[in-house]
Structure 1
Amino acid sequence: MGTLNREVPCNLPGDLEVTIQESSMVFPSKQTERKIMFLSNIDKVLNFDVQRLNFFASHQDFPPHIVVDKLKNALADALVHYDFLAGRLKVNSQTGRLEVDCNSAGAGFVVASSSYKLDQIGDLVDPNPAFAQLVHKNKDFLEPGDRPLCVVQLTSFKCGGFAIGFSTSHTAFDGSSFKTFLENLAALAAGKPLVVTPCHDRQLLVARSPPHVSFAHHELLQLDNLRPRFDSGVIGASSEQLDFKIFQLTSDDLKALKERAKSAEGHHSTACITGFNVVTAHVWRCKALSGQDDDPNKSSTILYAVDIRSRLNPPLEKSYVGNAVLTAHATANCKELEEGPLSKLVEIVSEGAKRITDEYARSAIDWGELYNGFPNGEVLVSSWWRLGFADVEYPWGKPRYSCPVVHHRKDIILFFPPLNESEGGVNVLVALPPREMAKFQSLFHKFFLL
């Protein structure tokens, strides 16, 4: 059995003493066509920024100042192939739809330094809130009201190591297409051609005319306008005091959970017993019961993203850029979650993904056309587990670690890989008020050992 939980150390530096040395715009290295890019109904409600970090050890041949030049030039070349990334979001005055004005206004680029060495900022797996200093926010980047869709920040450490932080609008990429973007960026930095030619035709996910909603879509919440409501529900930041804990499951732990799900009485199918499904089922019941108000009939809904590229008919190209993900959901009452076998919960979770067929996906997109639907549930699993950001090979090597920037949100549970991904396993980051965290931790151990 692995280390089932550990607290995020309280002695992590709360201030990385980051100094911004230069902020500038990077423009496409060649002239690009001025045009308007359509955003799908999946894209348009994801109008918020996502921050990601890549940490790199020092490299004799690639000190930070050399990497700055190569990265900046590679980004300029990438903006030729990803011209929308140099554009700006705008609302069409006639249709009211959010779209991208591909106007070559540029992407942001920040050069910074920290007074710390890389090995002084703690275990990189520990989600230090101070890591937010390593990623620049897109809003009002150089001028008030100017919000680039992409800002890249390179922060050098005293040891020669460095971090590259990306802040991108979620309208630009989902996890899969951002991984492809990084692979192409790395190739361009090495003077090589693109690894994958991106597919930018977001009309492939346009709503049907007329829209036809053929499912109930309980996982979607009707919005009053085009923008998600970040002040409520699973997306909203919490004002409560939160404890942060990492629950580490080794490959042996995952194997044990899978075997328990397989061995349950009456369970015959192993098709749904994946690492993701068993961990999701396990943390779902712990999260739901940790906040239980003693009502066994209280319902809990968990949300998680499903890539629809291969589920559509015809399938989307794997190179499709944009958001080709929909939110799967699983619902059960607290009595089922507490008393049901793991196998049953795994089946409920897996049914959420199986539900997303071509017709279901088209129905969800059509729902967005009519109601601006946005994911709605009590808890959201955001999985960075198998996206493979740390597998990207840059001229200066692979990242020592790749991770999201952690936010103060209690209803989002993060899955991400261990520092040494070859060992297998997964890290589960949970943020909860102290009393709920104590109960979650107790339940995590109890249900793991059953």
Structure 2
Amino acid sequence: MGTLCKEAPFNLPEDLDVSIQESSMVFPSKQTERKTMFLSNIDQVLNFDVETLHFFASHKDFPPHIVADKLKNALADALVHYDFLAGRLKVNSETGRLEVDCNAAGAGFVVASSNCNLEEIGDLVYPNPAFAQLVHKNKDFLKPGDHPLCVFQLTSFKCGGFAIGLSTSHTTFDGFSVKTFLENLAALAAEKPLVMTPCHDRQLLAARSPPRVSFAHHELLQLDKLPPEFDSGVFQASSEKLDFKIFQLTSEDLKALKEKAKPTQGHHSGARITGFNVITAHVWRCKALSGQDDDPDRSSTMLYAVDIRSRLNPPLPKSYAGNAVLTAYATAKCKELEEGPLSKLVEMVTEGAMRMTDEYARSAVDWGELYNGFPNGEVLVSSWWRLGFADVEYPWGKPRYSCPVVYHRKDIILLFPPLNDSEGGGDGVNVLVALPPKEMVKFQSLFYRFFHEG
């Protein structure tokens, strides 16, 4: 087995010695229409910021100060096509719903420098808490009470390499639409036309009138009142001490897992044996059984995101720029997870995604119209594996690595591509797990045990 469990590097820097040189607002390069943008029920519950980092090696033709100028100009042009990014969230006093005031108030832009070389900041794959210094918070950006929906930070390193940190409100984008936004930004920085014209019509995901909830939606938890800003369920940061470990699966490891997931001879299975499905089934089992509760009859619910663009009738445009992902789920008793074959667990994961038909998706959106709540489960598998952020070609090249800034969240398991995957690094995957120390010991033991046993 080629799997390597990566511990925290011994010399992980705790301070990247970052100094802010300049903070400013970037406004649309052309006048945009003042309007209010409707947010779907999917957008509504994602009112938190997502922070991503994109690391670049030094480029002789594009020193960091040139990149900063080009990026700033490209952002100004992008805000013409993505006018909502220059707006501000507000609560409609009549409906109580969040919406975006497209008021051209601007996006944030920060120029910073670090006294470190890129090679000195450690393994880019490992979630160093110090990486948080490479993004700038959206809250109270230049003045109290002003919360831009998008803030860029370009941090230069002593070696000439640099990092672009991006903080966006999740109400604005999902992972797929962020990728399109970055591709369009890169094209504008190269003075080329947009790769894809974004679709901003979020009424395409509006609830039906009257709402019609036609499924039970066990993956959603109702609340008495949902405040305008909240940190919900599995998205909540943990205050307890957590160990971080990365389980590195090579393409050969994935092939081995897929082989184990094939049903035994004579047994029919509806499982789709994909890399995502087998990894999700594998880590679900390990997470469910790693807790201190040994009750075999306890049920475990695992959540994962499904892109619904192609599942609706008619399909959403691929260029849809809002959130078009819903939470699929699989539920099983711990006894089933421990004793059942991997093929059965993969079948459950498959069924969760297959459940996401047009009617199911519409029902989930309508559920959000009637109730206050959010996705609810024991563990969320969040995949950044195939988003392709590191494949975006900027004038200064592709990122050396792209990743989210990771915080203490023990109920989210993240899937990342390997370092330099876009440069032929293979089809492997990094599985990032954060758990209390005792649970981590058990998780790691189960991870290897079930890998070998199937």
TM-score interval, smaller chain: over 0.9
In structure 2, how many angstroms separate the alpha carbons of the residues matched to 1:217 and 1:270?
22
2:98–2:228 CA contact under 8 A, matched in 1: no
Instruction: State TM-score, norm by structure 2.
Output: 0.97
1:117–1:158 CA contact under 8 A, matched in 2: yes
Deviation at 1:263, TM superposition (A): 4.6
Residue of structure 1 in register with 2:239 after alignment: 239
In structure 2, how many angstroms separate the alpha carbons of the residues matched to 1:171 and 1:267?
44
Q: What's the Cα RMSD here?
A: 1.1
In structure 1, how many angstroms separate the alpha carbons of the residues matched to 2:242 and 2:397?
36
- Larger mean CA deviation between 291-300 and 63-72 belongs to 291-300
- Larger mean CA deviation between 364-373 and 270-279 belongs to 270-279
Residue of structure 1 in register with 2:440 after alignment: 437
CA-to-partner distance for each residue in 1:152-202, whole Å, 9 max, x for gaps?
000000000000010000000000000000000000000001000000000
Q: Is residue 314 of structure 2 the alignment partner of residue 314 of structure 1? A: yes
Unaligned runs of 5+ in 2: none
- Larger mean CA deviation between 248-257 and 367-376 belongs to 367-376
- Which amino acid counterpart does residue 91 of structure 1 have in structure 2? V
Question: Matches of residues 16-415 of structure 1 in structure 2 within 5 Å?
Answer: 16-223=16-223, 224-227=225-228, 229-230=230-231, 233-269=233-269, 272-415=272-415
Unaligned runs of 5+ in 1: none
In structure 2, how many angstroms separate the alpha carbons of the residues matched to 1:267 and 1:283?
24
1:139–1:146 CA contact under 8 A, matched in 2: yes
Deviation at 1:233, TM superposition (A): 2.9
Q: Secondary structure at the match of 2:444?
A: helix
Q: Secondary structure at the match of 1:252?
A: helix
Instruction: State TM-score, norm by structure 1.
Output: 0.98
In structure 2, how many angstroms separate the alpha carbons of the residues matched to 1:82 and 1:267?
51
What is the aligned residue count? 449
In structure 2, how many angstroms separate the alpha carbons of the residues matched to 1:204 and 1:389?
26
In structure 1, how many angstroms separate the alpha carbons of the residues matched to 2:266 and 2:98?
49
CA-to-partner distance for each residue in 1:73-104, whole Å, 9 max, x for gaps?
00000000000000000001111110000000
- Which amino acid counterpart does residue 66 of structure 2 have in structure 1? I
2:9–2:123 CA contact under 8 A, matched in 1: no
Deviation at 1:294, TM superposition (A): 1.3
Q: Secondary structure at the match of 1:43?
A: helix
In structure 2, how many angstroms separate the alpha carbons of the residues matched to 1:257 and 1:269?
16
1:12–1:128 CA contact under 8 A, matched in 2: yes
Q: Which of 436, 446, 449 does residue 446 from structure 1 map onto?
A: 449
| Identical pairs, percent | 83
1:367–1:373 CA contact under 8 A, matched in 2: no
In structure 2, how many angstroms separate the alpha carbons of the residues matched to 1:11 and 1:171?
37
In structure 2, how many angstroms separate the alpha carbons of the residues matched to 1:299 and 1:229?
27
Q: Secondary structure at the match of 2:78?
A: helix
Residue of structure 2 in register with 1:14 after alignment: 14
- Larger mean CA deviation between 411-420 and 263-272 belongs to 263-272
- Which amino acid counterpart does residue 157 of structure 2 have in structure 1? F
Q: For residues 241 and 10 of structure 1, do their structure 2 counterparts lie closer, same or farther at Cα, with a shift above 3 Å needed? A: farther
Q: Secondary structure at the match of 1:272?
A: coil
2:110–2:136 CA contact under 8 A, matched in 1: yes
Q: Is residue 427 of structure 2 the alignment partner of residue 424 of structure 1? A: yes
